């Protein structure tokens, strides 16, 4: 009713509505065109930004490739390593973007960081460090005694009162090339050839290419050499006499182990039987059945006679006398709990300022170590 009052009759309303539609149509077209323009511009700007990023990425990669090919190796700092380690945990495509290092390098950085993390987090102090005194002493003993191994040096340290394991001593010893052998000093070599020289039943060649025979009688309980002698032509009678000299009066052992050498003839067997000794004979060509005396013979060769040139029988006796004195009083033995056959007490460290001195044995081939108060 109101509309009719305002505009008049229905025919007039219809005419006016057509006029309004004709006027509003151009306005709607302009709005749509503007919206399409904005949409196109938005798509073009995004495409342009993506294109710029791709181009910039390509340029940077090319420059990195040129730098890697022509320049020196880049210095990577700790923060750079940390950045790539963290990035590798959150970005799956980090391997494709990495240029300055290999992917395996980043993995190695991560493992190194893992070790450092748990090293920092761990509360345990770890193994106790070996003192500088023990380190220097092991090196000193190894240098002065080239033929000594870790067990021998460990025995010396125990006699000096140091509480250290044999494995630790082995790790502290200097390493020698695989094709080199330990050698004595020229001073020790010359001392042994001035007034001494040495050679069991084992044989020792002399400087004049003669053969000397050394007889050794060993007591099993303490690995003690009770008697030895040297001869250029041993016989059964001479060998039997050596047994008599080794066990005077009622000191003869109950058993005597020997091999099947022809020198132990009828005379020898009768003399041993009259002394109340029972012979234990090893099988033919079986030296391992008499291991104790074979081991001492090997020790004499390795530690003494292999390092000297024997001049004559007297020279050999002097050398063996010096060796057996060292063997009984100073040399530590594995089978005796790193003790000596005669017994060597542990020397406590003196109170006050002191030092360790080395006492040469067998002309300097071996040494004994003791504490001494500093002057």
Question: Using 50, 70 and 90 to split pLDDT, how confident is the model at 335?
Answer: confident
- Tokens in use for 47? 């495409």
Residue 357 predicted with pLDDT over 80: yes
CA separation for the pair 62, 292 (Å, rounded): 78
Residue 3 predicted with pLDDT over 50: no
Task: Give the pLDDT score at 130.
Answer: 85
Geometric angle at alpha carbon 233, from 285 and 214, rounded to 5°:
60
Task: Give the pLDDT score at 148.
Answer: 87
CB neighbours of residue 160 within 10 Å? 17
Task: Give the pLDDT score at 351.
Answer: 86
Residue 324 predicted with pLDDT over 90: yes
Cβ–Cβ under 8 Å, residues 225 and 246: no
Residue 300 predicted with pLDDT over 50: yes
CA separation for the pair 356, 160 (Å, rounded): 9
Share of the chain above pLDDT 90, in %: 26
Question: Using 50, 70 and 90 to split pLDDT, how confident is the model at 193?
Answer: very low
Cβ–Cβ under 8 Å, residues 192 and 307: yes
Task: Give the pLDDT score at 298.
Answer: 93
**Domain edges within the chain:** 1-48, 87-118, 184-344
* 3-state SS, residue 269: helix
Q: Which has more pLDDT, 11 or 317?
A: 317
Residue 96 predicted with pLDDT over 60: yes
Residue 267 predicted with pLDDT over 80: yes
CA separation for the pair 300, 320 (Å, rounded): 8
What CATH number matches the domain at 184-344, 3.20.20.10, 1.10.10.10, 3.30.2290.10, 3.30.420.10? 3.30.420.10
CA separation for the pair 177, 308 (Å, rounded): 24
User: For the ranges 6-15, 39-48, 180-189, which has the lowest average pLDDT?
Assistant: 6-15
Instruction: Kindly give, in sequence order, each residue whose CB lies less than 8 Å from that of residue 176, ignoring residues fewer than 6 positions away.
Output: 182
Task: Give the pLDDT score at 230.
Answer: 94
Q: What is the mean pLDDT of the chain?
A: 78
Model confidence over 16-25: pLDDT tens digits? 445 444 444 4
User: What is the arithmetic mean of pLDDT over 246-273?
Assistant: 86
Task: Give the pLDDT score at 222.
Answer: 83
Task: Give the pLDDT score at 202.
Answer: 93
List, in sequence order, the alpha helices (H) in the chain: 2-7, 10-70, 78-90, 94-97, 103-121, 132-144, 150-159, 166-172, 186-194, 236-246, 266-274, 291-303, 313-329
Instruction: Kindly give, in sequence order, each residue whose CB lies less than 8 Å from that of residue 323, ignoring residues fewer than 6 positions away.
Output: 198, 300, 303, 304, 362
Question: Using 50, 70 and 90 to split pLDDT, how confident is the model at 15?
Answer: very low
- Cα dihedral value 148, 150, 152, 156, nearest 10: 120
Instruction: Kindly give, in sequence order, each residue whose CB lies less than 8 Å from that of residue 299, ignoring residues fewer than 6 positions away.
Output: 327
Residue 312 predicted with pLDDT over 90: yes
Residue 314 predicted with pLDDT over 90: yes
- Tokens in use for 272? 């041993």
Task: Give the pLDDT score at 19.
Answer: 45
**307-to-139, 301, 319 alpha-carbon distances in Å:** 22, 8, 11
């Amino acid at each position: 009713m109101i509309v009719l009052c305002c505009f008049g009759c229905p025919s007039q309303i219809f005419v006016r509505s057509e006029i309004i539609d004709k006027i509003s149509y151009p306005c709607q077209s302009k709005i749509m065109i503007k919206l399409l323009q904005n949409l196109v511009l938005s798509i073009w700007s995004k495409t342009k930004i993506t294109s710029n990023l791709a181009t910039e990425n390509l340029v940077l990669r090319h420059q990195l490739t040129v730098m890697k090919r022509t320049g020196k190796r880049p210095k990577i700092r700790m923060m750079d390593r940390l950045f790539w380690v963290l990035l590798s945990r959150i970005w799956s495509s980090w391997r494709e973007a990495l240029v300055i290092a290999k992917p395996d390098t980043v993995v190695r950085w991560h493992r190194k960081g893992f070790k450092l993390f748990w090293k920092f987090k761990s509360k345990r102090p770890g193994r106790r460090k070996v003192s500088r005194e023990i380190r220097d002493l092991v090196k000193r003993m190894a240098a002065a005694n080239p033929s000594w191994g870790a067990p021998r040096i460990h025995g010396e340290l125990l006699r000096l009162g140091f509480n250290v394991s044999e494995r630790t001593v082995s790790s502290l010893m200097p390493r020698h090339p695989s094709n080199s052998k330990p050698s004595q000093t020229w001073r020790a070599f010359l001392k042994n050839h001035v007034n001494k020289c040495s050679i069991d039943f084992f044989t020792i060649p002399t400087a004049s290419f003669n053969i000397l025979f050394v007889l050794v009688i060993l007591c099993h309980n303490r690995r003690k050499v009770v008697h030895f002698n040297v001869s250029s032509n041993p016989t059964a009678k001479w060998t039997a006499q050596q047994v008599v000299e080794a066990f005077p009066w009622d000191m003869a052992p109950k058993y005597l182990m020997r091999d099947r050498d022809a020198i132990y003839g009828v005379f020898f067997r009768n003399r041993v039987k009259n002394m109340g000794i029972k012979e234990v004979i090893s099988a033919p060509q079986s030296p391992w059945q008499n291991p104790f005396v074979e081991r001492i013979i090997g020790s004499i060769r390795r530690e003494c006679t292999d390092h000297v040139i024997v001049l004559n029988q007297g020279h050999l006796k002097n050398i063996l006398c010096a060796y057996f004195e060292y063997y009984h009083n100073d040399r530590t033995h594995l089978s005796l709990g790193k003790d000596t056959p005669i017994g060597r007490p542990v020397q406590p460290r003196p109170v006050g300022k002191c030092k360790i001195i080395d006492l040469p044995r067998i002309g300097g081939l071996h040494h004994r170590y003791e504490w001494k108060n500093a002057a």
